Structure 1
Amino acid sequence: MPPRRKKPSVPRHGSDPAAAAAGPSTAEEEPPYIEAFGHKYHHSGRIFVPFDEKEQQRMELEHRLFRHCLNGALTATRIPLNVEQILDLGSGTGLWPMEMAVRYPQAQIHGIDVSRIQKTNAVPPNVRFTIGNVEDPWPTPPDSIDFLHARSLAGGVTDWPALFKQAYEKLKPGGLLEWTEVAIQIFDFDGNFGDAELCPNFLNLWRDVSRRNNIDFTPSPNGPEWLVEAGFEKIAQRTEILPIGDWAQDDKLRTRQALMNTISHQHFTNHCGLLFTKCGWTREQFDAVAPTFFTDIEAESSKPYTMV
């Protein structure tokens, strides 16, 4: 069960003066950006996930992966059929809000993302997008959201407790939150689920540059504590195996494995460029050490996997 908002003892009143959200539109000129390792990153330098075409391809592969993990569903949460207000944080290309709009035509669905990369040629009438950083105040009044969806925000959030505090304030009493992240951890499938973590040299290096940039790409282990501190209750966790390599046997895991292999190998540099360049690395230095990530994994395990 996803975390549920407690009913406050004192009702809140008022509305956010920024409640009018921007509708979908296309900028006439490309906004400024930072380029690193051939990828385009938000000009603020605070978002370590790029927004270019290759990253958009990765986002859509990940969307397919998550739907497969959910047996075709769009959420693990059982959302009431009469849901009215849905907020999606980190909408990316907008696939999730637009698919939800078809399933819940009576709901108003609001997506927020720092980059204007949403597919605006076929936006359902009950979907709107706002361009903004999810760590800033959201353009929605307090106590107004029935269901809040947050997925793959790691790399763009520096203050997770503050994010969940705002989520609690924006949700209606009894409102629901679903948050999903892929763990940047590699495990060995030796029969002890989640116990045998592998730490290739490159992964340790990557974690070091992440700490130096004050960014956490694997926040989910701390999630329950943050949610409790924010005021949520009835918190439940769900974990799925994502195989890497060529060891999965059944059809379901093999489908996940194929998607994970594509994401891992074809989009390996997406989340590395800004991290490493801000720590003084050149592309040549990075290319000299990055391949060890896969060779070390293959040497240490015949059944590597990560988790979502």
Structure 2
Amino acid sequence: MAQNEATRDAQESTAGAASSTQPATNIATTTLNEATAEVQENTGAAAPSQSAGADLEVDENASADGDSGYNDSIGTASYASSISSSIRNYKYEPNDEEEQDRMDLLNHIYRLLTRGYLHLAPINSNLQRVLDIGTGTGIWAIQFAEEYPSAQVIGTDLSPIQPKWVPPNCTFEVDDYEQEWLFKTKFDFIHGRELNGFVSDYDRLFSRAFKHLKSGGYFEFQSAEGDLFPNDETGYKAKHTLQLAAQVREASAKFGKSFMKIHEWKKMMEKVGFVDVRKVEYKLPIGRWPKDPKLKEIGKYQQVQQIQAVDAYAFALFSRVLGWSQPEIQVMCAHVRNELKDPSIHLYGKVHFVYGRKP
């Protein structure tokens, strides 16, 4: 997506709080500060780590930082094992549950971005019922249940891959969030993460969420954008990576589950009746090139996640939708992985948090 389109979305999300003539940096920061104030008022949590509008300063010594074999080891089994160990030992992790697959790694990245937040919606602390659609491995639902012991947390997914040992207030059900929802009792909070590119009809999905919320309840969607952005001129060297991102967006649109609908989430939520809808963006660096220590750490994890995601997205979409041969996909993916490992290339993605309240 073009940069001016992202700026327009940021401007819309801060209507009434900032003039549309303000720089995009100030606009995005205003949105983040408003969201932070609401969350702090209800939870007392610390402020999130950065705003999407803030420039990412490059560490000129990043390529020499750490072990000289670092870049060669990225993506190997030993490096992935080391990353997983680091995640399990991170201070906010409640137990030693496995965090070895990509979605659990993404959960860690999200919590680093938000300084431990599982959500940005200003929910209260005595929730009774919470729904996590498309729960995947269930790690968000499990952690939420541990942080909010008063809540009965239900995670739904088509695949029963969640662990058996979970908090007593957390359960999992096999269900398709794109089909009719059969819940009889309404929820205080409904959450969905990383479902961008996996929804065929957002109006229908958001309407169902609205219907199944109690009055005053919140709905929150969190997901990475289906695009990558050069932080500076070095990013344009990643021609295969930028091409892959563009073709994933093309394939997802042809498949009927576009990655670009993410920029319409705020308007869609408002359309079905949600109020106080807020949109917050974070920049997500790929690699250890940022100068800021926290962003450097986030970039280290995101680099691994992005490399793992290449095959996950490319093979299915490119072969079934775009008609590429397996050798063509393999060559493209090899080029992309090499570019993602290159410490001289400075790319970042964007993560969107959009939430609203049912009046």
Distance (whole Å) between structure 2 residues aligned to residue 297 and residue 68 of structure 1? 21
More helix by share: 2
TM value normalised by structure 1: 0.74
Structure 1 residues 74 and 287 mapped into 2: Cα distance closer, same or farther (>3 Å)?
same
Choose the corresponding residue for 1:176, options 203, 218, 234: 218
**SS at the partner of 2:144?**
helix
The equivalent of 1:127 in structure 2 is 170
The equivalent of 1:115 in structure 2 is 159
Q: 272-281 or 151-160, which moves further after superposition?
A: 272-281
- Aligned sequence identity (%): 30
The equivalent of 1:165 in structure 2 is 207
Q: How does 1:248-259 map to 2 (within 5 A)?
A: 248-259=290-301
The equivalent of 2:113 in structure 1 is 69
The equivalent of 2:325 in structure 1 is 282
Question: Is 2:130 the partner of 1:86?
Answer: yes
Q: 208-217 or 92-101, which moves further after superposition?
A: 208-217
**SS at the partner of 1:234?**
strand
Structure 1 residues 294 and 249 mapped into 2: Cα distance closer, same or farther (>3 Å)?
same
* Aligned amino acid, residue 138 of structure 2: G
Question: Is 2:304 the partner of 1:262?
Answer: yes
Distance (whole Å) between structure 2 residues aligned to residue 287 and residue 177 of structure 1? 39
Distance (whole Å) between structure 1 residues aligned to residue 308 and residue 341 of structure 2? 17
Contact 2:227 2:246 in 1 (8 A): no
Distance (whole Å) between structure 2 residues aligned to residue 259 and residue 225 of structure 1? 32
Deviation, structure 1 residue 296: 7.0
The equivalent of 1:139 in structure 2 is 182
Question: Is 2:193 the partner of 1:151?
Answer: yes
Contact 1:181 1:218 in 2 (8 A): no
Q: Which runs of 5+ in 2 are unaligned?
A: 1-34, 37-98, 234-238, 352-359
**SS at the partner of 2:168?**
coil
Contact 1:201 1:293 in 2 (8 A): no
Distance (whole Å) between structure 1 residues aligned to residue 287 and residue 147 of structure 2? 35
The equivalent of 1:47 in structure 2 is none
Deviation, structure 1 residue 190: 4.6
**SS at the partner of 2:312?**
coil
Question: Is 2:308 the partner of 1:230?
Answer: no
Q: CA RMSD in A?
A: 2.7
Q: Which runs of 5+ in 1 are unaligned?
A: 3-54, 192-197
Q: 175-184 or 202-211, which moves further after superposition?
A: 202-211
Distance (whole Å) between structure 2 residues aligned to residue 277 and residue 94 of structure 1? 29
TM value normalised by structure 2: 0.64
Distance (whole Å) between structure 2 residues aligned to residue 160 and residue 91 of structure 1? 17
**SS at the partner of 2:101?**
helix
Contact 2:196 2:225 in 1 (8 A): no
Distance (whole Å) between structure 2 residues aligned to residue 297 and residue 64 of structure 1? 20
Deviation, structure 1 residue 284: 1.1
**SS at the partner of 2:278?**
coil
Distance (whole Å) between structure 2 residues aligned to residue 156 and residue 201 of structure 1? 21
Distance (whole Å) between structure 2 residues aligned to residue 225 and residue 241 of structure 1? 22
Contact 2:196 2:262 in 1 (8 A): no
Distance (whole Å) between structure 1 residues aligned to residue 331 and residue 281 of structure 2? 34
Contact 1:202 1:292 in 2 (8 A): no
The equivalent of 1:195 in structure 2 is none
Distance (whole Å) between structure 1 residues aligned to residue 267 and residue 100 of structure 2? 31
**SS at the partner of 1:92?**
coil
**SS at the partner of 2:266?**
helix
Contact 1:145 1:170 in 2 (8 A): yes
Deviation, structure 1 residue 205: 2.3
**SS at the partner of 2:279?**
coil
Distance (whole Å) between structure 1 residues aligned to residue 159 and residue 259 of structure 2? 19
**SS at the partner of 2:328?**
helix
Deviation, structure 1 residue 74: 1.6
Q: How many residues align?
A: 249
Contact 2:248 2:313 in 1 (8 A): no
